Copies of this chain bind each other. A is one copy, B any other.
Amino acid sequence: MTTRFRAVPPEVDWRAFKVRHHKGGMVFAQGQPVYHWFEILSGVVRTSHIKADGNRRVTGFFFNGDVLGVESGLRTETAEALSDTLLLGHPLAATESAASLVDTPFRRALRCAQSTLFLVGRGSASERLAAFFASIATRLGSTDRVPLPMSRDDIADHLGLTSPTVSRTIVAFERHGVVTRIGRDELRVLRPDILLALAGERDLPADCHADMALRAMVRPSDSSESLTAQPIATAHTVQPQDKAARP
């Protein structure tokens, strides 16, 4: 819950500058390099993130006094003015030089929290779990090994699911040859490409339609059990417009 006061005292506003945007204007765009962070003097700004699958995720709304665009490297999100807006821009370099050593933990925690935002709140159980597993594997630097020292309930409470759903989805992953269970608290990723595709981080391999197959997997209503043979899916190109990009 952000407060409504000035973010930094005036003496730190070295080379701070005012920017005016009118309704619909773009403050910064996803993919651009980060040069400044902004403080809202008046107006409303919306930040959103477009995933590889085209889905949009609105990451925040910012009102008078709020701080936005605090990141480094490349913009992970786009900021647009929802109304005529007056911003105070702060050069990131000035901030960096004074606190480059110290604020690192804050930034890392911020990145971590923001990446978690993309895990929860959107997408099916398969997508969330795939993203979760991919995230763990990436953070540990191991391509295929995914330790799960937490309980299924922990995972469920983290992703906004329930324990039975987590179980079913993992079993479905395994039935499709995406992962293998090693004991109770470890996975081995057999098809990282499909895992990332399910997570929405990259496009699906052309040879399969994992999401449709996995959907059918979790709910074994149809008796067409031809799945144990082939790892993932037949060459069905029938994309049911499942959760494609909005127009």
- A residues lining the B interface (CB < 8 Å): 1-4, 7-9, 12, 37, 39, 44, 46, 48, 56-61, 63-64, 66-68, 70, 82-83, 90, 95, 98-99, 101-117, 119-122, 135-136, 138-141, 147, 149-150, 153-155, 157-160, 246
Residues of chain B lying within 8 A (CB to CB) of residue A48? 157
CB distance from A186 to the nearest CB of B (A): 12
Chain B residues with CB under 8 Å of A122's CB are: 120, 160
Q: Which residue of B lies closest to A107 (CB)?
A: B106
**Cβ contact within 8 Å between A103 and B101:** no
- Asked whether A141 lies within 8 Å of B4 as measured between CB atoms, the reply is yes
Contacts A/B (CB < 8 Å), 14 sampled: A4-B140, A8-B105, A9-B101, A58-B154, A60-B158, A68-B109, A70-B105, A98-B101, A98-B102, A103-B106, A113-B117, A120-B120, A120-B121, A122-B160
Copies in the assembly, this chain: 2
**CA of A44 to CA of B4, assembled, Å:** 36
CA distance A51 to B236 in the complex (A): 45
Of the candidates B3, B70, B112, B121, which one forms a contact with A66 in the assembled complex, judged by CB atoms under 8 Å apart?
B112
Cα distance A136–B58 in the bound complex, in angstroms = 15
> Which one, B60, B95, B149, contacts A116 given CB within 8 A?
B60
Min CB distance, A182 to chain B, in Å?
A: 16
Tell me whether A98 and B95 are in contact (CB under 8 A): no
B residues in contact with A138, CB < 8 Å: 1
Asked if B112 and A1 sit within 8 Å, CB to CB, the answer is yes
Q: Are B111 and A1 in contact (CB under 8 A)?
A: yes
Bound complex: CA A4 to CA B12 (Å): 31
Q: CA separation between A90 and B106, bound complex, in Å?
A: 13
Identity of the chain B residue whose Cβ is nearest the Cβ of A49 in the assembled complex? B157
Question: What's the least CB distance linking A129 to chain B, in Å?
Answer: 13
Q: Shortest beta-carbon distance, A44 to chain B, in Å?
A: 5
Known contacts A58-B154, A60-B158, A113-B113, A139 near B66 by CB under 8 Å:
yes
Q: Which of B120, B136, B153 contacts A63 (CB 8 A)?
A: B136
Q: How far is the CB of A168 from chain B (nearest CB, A)?
A: 19
